[in-house]
């Protein structure tokens, strides 16, 4: 996919006639942090302790959903149990503790440089995540200093990805419309959400999910790494920020 083809497809899908990039809406797990390995481990531990069958791989597919939605879905499908909001919140607290106990996840290679380059080009960055993992939120300003103008997290949304709500909230926080926003994602449900919100949605393969799966979910463009993304940024900006 060339950048020119990608923007033509975007115009066809959204009906927009122009693009004027002002805002990057940036996912957290798998984009800022190499955290999915620990999330999937923590999820399996929580499910096993509660007698719910699962595999580690399946949790990569749920990436982007809120913790509460994952818990409700797994308990319903795995044990026929309807979990209340309060029960889901309590179970999510346990999962968050398991996650914290696994140590601090590494940063995704190249994301900081990419976001700094975007900021230098006059593009504001807004964090958009379905996560409620406080131990990561506490690190962001230190690991990504002066990058984010606003944050949308699980506390701000009713419906997680693939629903477009998190990205629509991110657009509102940035005072931007779809044809002013670039979404940066690594997972199919997140790509679906960005695409449905009418944003130009870029997928980056930072884990086991393939390029093909991200295009299938609706990505306008997919890069193999953050460094590849940064290398193409000047060309992308001539098209998205004329």
Contacts to Ca ion by CB under 5 A? 27, 29-30, 186-187
Shortest CB 30 distance to Ca ion, Å: 4
Closest to 218 measured CA to CA, from 167, 173, 177:
167
CA–CA distance from 220 to each of 59, 196, 212, 234, 240 (Å)? 24, 12, 12, 17, 12
Q: Give the nearest distance from C-beta 26 to Ca ion in angstroms.
A: 10
Distance CA 93, CA 81 (A): 19
Nearer to Ca ion, 31 or 173 (CB): 31
User: How many Å apart are CA 223 and CA 148, to the nearest integer?
Assistant: 22
Residue 23 backbone phi and psi in degrees, to 5: -140, 130
User: Which residue number has the CB closest to Ca ion?
Assistant: 30
Q: How far is the CB of 129 from Ca ion (least distance, A)?
A: 7
The C-alpha atoms of residue 19 and residue 145 are separated, in whole angstroms, by 28
Nearer to Ca ion, 129 or 179 (CB): 129
> Least distance (Å) from Ca ion to the CB of residue 55?
19
Beta carbon of residue 188, minimum distance to Ca ion (angstroms, whole number): 10
Nearer to Ca ion, 133 or 230 (CB): 133
Distances in whole angstroms, Cα of residue 221 to Cα of each of 34, 41, 71, 196: 21, 30, 31, 15
Nearer to Ca ion among residue 26 and residue 91 (C-beta): 26
Of 19 and 69, which CB lies nearer to Ca ion in the complex structure? 69
């Amino acid at each position: 996919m060339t950048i020119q083809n990608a923007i033509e497809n975007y115009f066809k899908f959204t009906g927009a006639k122009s693009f004027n990039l002002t805002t990057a809406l940036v996912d957290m797990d798998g984009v800022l942090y190499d955290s999915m390995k620990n999330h999937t481990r923590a999820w399996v531990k929580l499910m096993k302790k509660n007698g719910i069958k699962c595999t580690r791989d399946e949790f990569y597919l749920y990436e982007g959903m809120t913790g509460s939605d994952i818990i409700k879905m797994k308990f319903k499908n795995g044990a026929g149990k309807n979990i209340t909001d309060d029960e889901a919140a309590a179970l999510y607290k346990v999962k968050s503790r398991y996650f914290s106990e696994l140590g601090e996840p590494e940063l995704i290679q190249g994301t900081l440089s990419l976001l700094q380059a975007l900021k230098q080009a006059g593009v504001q960055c807004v964090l958009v995540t379905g996560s409620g993992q406080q131990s990561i939120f506490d690190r962001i300003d230190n690991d990504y200093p002066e990058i984010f103008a606003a944050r949308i997290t699980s506390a701000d949304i009713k419906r997680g990805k693939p629903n477009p709500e998190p990205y629509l909230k991110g657009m509102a926080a940035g005072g931007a419309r779809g044809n002013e926003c670039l979404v940066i994602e690594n997972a199919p449900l997140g790509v679906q959400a960005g695409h449905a919100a009418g944003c130009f949605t870029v997928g980056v393969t930072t884990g086991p999910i393939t390029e093909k799966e991200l295009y299938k979910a609706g990505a306008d463009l997919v890069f193999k790494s953050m460094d590849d993304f940064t290398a193409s940024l000047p060309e992308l900006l001539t098209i998205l920020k004329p």
